[in-house]
Structure formats: structure tokens, C-alpha cells
Amino acid sequence: MFEKTRDIFTHLIHPILFMYLAASYIPSTTTSLLSPLQLNILLSPSAFVCPSNLPLDQEEKQKEIWFARFWAIYGPELQKNTSPTVAPLLQRVHGIVLDIGPGSGEWLPLLPKNRITKIYGVEPNKDHHAALRRKIRECGLEGVYEIVPVGIEDLEEGGWIKEERVDSVITLFCLCGIPRPREMIGRLYGMLGEGGVWVLYEHVRVREGRWVGWYQSAMNLFWPHFLGGCELRRDTGRWVKEAGPWSQVELVQPVNEPEYQVVPHIQGVLVK
């Protein structure tokens, strides 16, 4: 009984500790902005967490720099902890690939290069691009992997995706932070060709009727401000399933996650 109580407490305190960890990167980010060219980003009443009267692009730029610095450290740790589960899923990827929100490129080493002809890495946060380029070189993907510096909403309109359809979509820990998620998920479904695969590993909202859902809702009041706009309460699994008809759906919650998991996940592959 004591062991379970301690485990529940650990899961409940984890989101708070994670937000504290993210906040610890504010001082180093502030220091990095102490240059004549970036003082206009730093000198604002909003700092990094609270809403302000700043122009949206300036306020968001602050958060992008902060989150990029944080993710450069945490992203590889996340990859190391979840790669035993994610690696087999990525072996289903093939052909022309849309890699949504690749960040610093933590997952690139797990991609089956012999099955891929082209990868479009859709990463609008330019503060990730330097690290992503290094990872592309390390993985021997130069000429195959193209960084696309826009959001999903601008892929077709901006002419970035020349092909009418793609063969694979990868979304790993990214759909929690995109704007207008249901609309963007629908757009990604439309870009996926018949027989194409969607590889997914995302955190989602707690299932209805569970007491921990109330706690997750409370945490979500603060979480997006510390984690680059990430949302805890998105019903991503259902939205992807409802994006259109699928010939195959293999989505499950990781078996090692207890019922009191504050940040539960969903993983798997869908085939169009």
C-alpha cells in the first residue's frame, strides 16, 4: 500500500517538477539575449511566462528561444527513454515522409534510411534548425532531409510539398503544441496517400470519469506557458481516428502507464 501511495505521489508531482525544470532555463535564455541585436526581444514586461501587450511575434519569439534551449537538453533524454517503443514504429515509415515538429532531430537515427526517398522536416521554430542540421549530417541524410521552416497550415499554400501525396507522416510529441489541432490533423490526413502510414506517439487527455482528469486540468492552466504552448488535455487519438477512413488502426496506451498517469500517452500506426 505504501509503495502504491508513493508511486501515485510521484506521478502527481511530476508535471510540477517538469515545469520547474523548464523554468530553470529562463536565466540562460535571458543571458543569451543580452546582445544589441536581441535586446528588443528581451526588454519586455512579459518576461517569458505571462501574457502581455507585446506584439505576438515578439512574445512568441521569446518562448521559442527558451523552449529550444530547454528541448536541446531534454529532447535527447526523452528519445533515449522512449526509443525502445518508438523505434519499431518508425520501421513502418517509407517513401516520401512528413516529419512534423522534429525539433533538434532526436529521432533521425531511428529512421529506416533504405526505405525513404525524401523527408520534409516541418519545424517552424528556427531556433531548432542549427541542431537539426547537425543531426542531419550525422545521420547521413543530407540531400534527403529538407527542413521546412513553416507550420502545417502553410505546407501546401507555400508550395513546400511538391508531391500531391506523401507516403508517411511522423508525429512524435508534437501534436500537443500545434495551433488548431483538429484542422491540422485533417490537413495531414489529406496529404497522406492511399496505403500511407501515420506513425504516432503523443501524450493525451486522461479518459473521462477519472479523478486524475481534474488534476490534469489544473496542471494544464500552467503547463502551456512553461512548455512552448504544449497542451495536456488534447484528445489527439480520437481526432486522428476521426480525420478520415483508415484501413488499419493500431493505437494503444503504453502498458507500463498506470491509471493515475497524469500525462498518459497513445502510440501506434494508422494506415490509410
Q: What is the mean pLDDT of each run of 10 residues along the chain (272 residues)?
A: 82 90 76 56 45 42 69 81 93 97 93 96 90 96 95 84 84 93 95 95 87 93 88 96 97 90 96 97
- Residue 3: what pLDDT? 79
- Residue 111 is given by DSSP the state S
- Residue 33: what pLDDT? 58
- Residue 174: what pLDDT? 92
Please say whether the beta carbons of 65 and 33 come within 8 A: yes
Q: Which three cell numbers stand for residue 105?
A: 532531430
Pairing between β-strand 192-203 and β-strand 265-271 as defined by DSSP bridges = antiparallel
Rounded Cα gap, residues 30 and 33, in angstroms: 5
CATH level 2 (architecture), domain 2-271: 3-Layer(aba) Sandwich (3.40)
| Cα separations in angstroms, 111 against 119, 143, 251 | 10, 15, 20
| Cα separations in angstroms, 235 against 26, 155, 209 | 30, 24, 14
- Residue 105: what pLDDT? 93
Burial of 184 (0-12, 13-18, 19+ CB in 10 A): buried
- Residue 56: what pLDDT? 38
**Every domain of the chain and the residues it spans:** 2-271
Cβ atoms within 10 Å, residue 236: 22
Instruction: Report the length, in residues, of the chain.
Output: 272
